[in-house]
Amino acid sequence: MKYTFPKDFFWGAATSATQSEGRELNDQKGENIWDYSSVKYNHRFYEGVTTEHTSNFYKEYKQDIQRMENLSFNSFRTSISWSRLIPDGVGEINQEAVKFYRQMLQEMKQKGIQPFINLYHFDMPMALQEQGGFENREVIEAYRRYAECCFELFDDLVACWFTFNEPMIPAEAGYLHDRHYPYVVDFKRAATVLHHIILAHCEAVNVYKKNYKGKIGIIMDIIPVYPRSQNPADLKAAEMADLFYTRSLNEAILKGKYPSELRNVLERYNQMPEVTPEDLDLIEQTKIDLLGVNYYRPRRVKAKEYLVDVTGIFSPEWFFDDYVMPGRRMNTSRGIEIYPEAMYDIAKKIQNDYGNIDWFVSENGIGIQGEEAFIKEGMVQDEYRIAFVKEHLQWLHKAMEEGSNCLGYHMWTFVDCWSWINAYKNRYGFYRMDLKTGEKTVKKSGLWFKTVIENKGFD
Ligand code: BG6
């Protein structure tokens, strides 16, 4: 069977500023929470490797964009680093940063590669984090101003903007699960952060729509939740996991309303953040043009086995346990399930529940530890990555044939890049980066993806 995708389908890959550019504080870049925690909490990073050691996009953007062209990409997503552009988050604009981003965007334009530009990928400027980051309502205004600066400075070169990547993560990883700085564990504070991020998103979307003509959206996870069984206790567990980790955010963004069940639970447990009627109006009035969906793995849950909580700290995990389905296919490197069918389920959910909005796969990929073992004749022979992409595209194709408005597919990622906490543990790129020499060499999957782009699909 031939899987053919539309002529103007977006093909490419994604990364983020912090993960690819390199720290380069010499060019007046301000510190962000990653630069700070890299030094102060170095033990929390895999092998102590931090933001200093990235794939060097700041210096090598020309060669990297040439590499994208070599693979026939027609689009590419990265983010602007807030603390590079405005070192303290609110003050003077760093002209070196303006120069860098304009040159980078011009280079992409020249090569016919459409930039998808995201404004915030987990990287709060440290000066603002010291004032509470997104926990502080005033930071919403700082973000709005930052977004406005980006639009003013770069809109002539960018037609697709995104406000946030995975907005749930800064709240959940930074304020509930002790993974990202500031390593707080407090549900109500996490909920406050999430609410303020949603408001910041709304402010940026509205500023953009008032003054500019391109498209603006957001990049989120829509992780499908599957219950262990149809037994009512398992169904309830799935409902709660979905409510906390998916609906809480996605319905605010895509339906303009928080789910009423969420308020009921949060009030019952005294965890409701401050939400004003004006906030709710703003959320209701804000509409995006384009949705990016990151998908790596499904969530499987079951009813709780033990109802005893030893910490006393409220958590969504009070209502469900993760479930390891026997026989499920695993990416053993990352310890997560491979379930390509979910791509279809996500597309159907967008079609049925979220108004069949225009969307694209903004991240999908397979992180592998110890990829060196697959090098033969100087090339990573990553057949597993080809199989992974193929299967996900097949399910996506099926949904598109049934009317899903999916406009593109971006892989995570282009060149193996540094990742939050895991540093270079899991390699995701179409290009391998040698950590010692910095040399970048294409993997077998990169060459295969090029044929897919050129043939608009595969057999
Ligand atoms: C995504 C993030 O969810 O996961 C990326 O948007 C991240 O920024 C990617 O790098 C992979 O994460 P990890 O921890 O497996 O390297």
CA distances from 298 to 46, 294, 314, 341, 397 (A): 24, 11, 24, 9, 19
- Distance between Cα 310 and ligand 1 center (Å): 30
CA of 332: how far to CAs of 36, 328, 353, 411, 427, in Å?
31, 11, 33, 20, 13
Cβ within 8 Å of residue 120, ≥6 positions away? 79, 82, 143, 163, 164, 165
Q: Is 16 in the pocket of ligand 1 (CB under 6 A)?
A: yes
User: Among candidates 262, 284, 126, which has minimal Cα distance to 199?
Assistant: 284
- Burial of 327: CB neighbours in 10 Å, binned 0-12, 13-18, 19+: exposed
pLDDT tens string 55-90: 999 999 999 999 999 999 999 999 999 999 999 999
Determine the residue of 166, 168, 412, 427 to mutate for testing ligand 1's pocket, defined as the one with the most ligand atoms within 8 A of the Cβ atom.
412
Distance of CA 423 from the midpoint of ligand 1 (Å)? 10
Amino acid type, 71: L
Alpha helices in 373-443 (DSSP H): 383-401
The number of the ligand 1 atom at minimal distance from the alpha carbon of 16 is 8
- Would you state the pLDDT for residue 22? 87
- Ligand 1 centroid from CA 340, angstroms: 18
Say if ligand 1 is within 6 A of residue 412 CB: yes
CB distance 32 to ligand 1 below 6 Å: no
Atom 10 in ligand 1: which residue has the minimum CA distance? 419
The predicted pLDDT at position 223 comes to 93
- Tell me the one-letter amino acid at 298: P
pLDDT of residue 128: 98
Residue 247 DSSP label: I
| Predicted local distance difference test score (pLDDT) of residue 27 | 86
pLDDT digit string (tens) for the chain, length 459 residues: 899 999 999 999 999 999 999 886 678 999 999 999 999 999 999 999 999 899 999 999 999 999 999 999 999 999 999 999 999 999 999 999 999 999 999 999 999 999 999 999 999 999 999 999 999 999 999 999 999 999 999 999 999 999 999 999 999 999 999 999 999 999 999 999 999 999 999 999 999 999 999 999 999 999 999 999 999 999 999 999 999 999 999 999 999 999 999 999 999 999 999 999 999 999 999 999 999 999 999 999 999 987 767 778 999 999 999 999 999 999 988 889 999 999 999 999 999 999 999 999 999 999 999 999 999 999 999 999 999 999 999 999 999 999 999 999 999 999 999 999 999 999 999 999 999 999 999 999 999 999 999 999 999
Which ligand 1 atom minimizes the distance to the CA of 425? 16
Strand 359-363 and strand 406-411: pairing?
parallel
Of 302, 298, 299, whose CA–CA distance to 231 is shortest? 302
Q: What are 406's two structure tokens?
A: 């999916």
- Say yes or no: CB of residue 55 within 6 Å of ligand 1: no
- pLDDT for position 351: 98
Cβ 333 vs Cβ 368: under 8 Å: yes
Please indicate whether residue 165, judged by its CB atom, sits closer than 6 Å to ligand 1.
yes
Distance CA 447, CA 389 (A): 13
Q: Is the CB of 419 under 6 A from ligand 1?
A: yes
Beta bridge mates, 14: 77
Mutate to test the pocket of ligand 1, among 420, 421, 422 (most ligand atoms within 8 A of CB): 420
CA–CA distance from 344 to each of 5, 34, 298, 349, 392 (Å)? Answer: 15, 35, 12, 9, 8
Distances (CA, A) of 338 to 59, 60, 366: 35, 33, 9
Ligand 1 contact via 414 beta carbon (within 6 Å)? no
Residue among 1, 71, 73 at smallest CA distance from 397 = 1
Main-chain phi, psi angles of 162, to 5 degrees: -135, 140
DSSP for 315-383 reads -GGGS-EE---TT--EETTTTEE--THHHHHHHHHHHHHSTT--EEEEE----BTTGGGGEETTEE--H
Residue numbers annotated as active site: 166, 363
Cis ω on the peptide bond leading into residue 87 (within 30° of 0)?
no
Report residue 123 as tokens. 């990287």
Give how many domains the chain has, as a whole number.
1
- What range does the domain containing 365 cover? 3-458
Cα(419) to centroid of ligand 1, in Å?
A: 6
CATH number at residue 32: 3.20.20.80
- The C-alpha torsion from 342 through 346 and 351 to 357, rounded to 10°, is -140
Question: In a mutational test of the pocket of ligand 1, which residue from 363, 369, 424 has the highest number of ligand atoms less than 8 Å from its CB?
Answer: 363
C-alpha–C-alpha distance, residues 83 and 34, integer Å: 11
Residue 367 Cβ < 6 Å to ligand 1: yes
Q: How confident is the model at residue 407, as a pLDDT? A: 98
CA of 275 to the centre of ligand 1 (A): 30
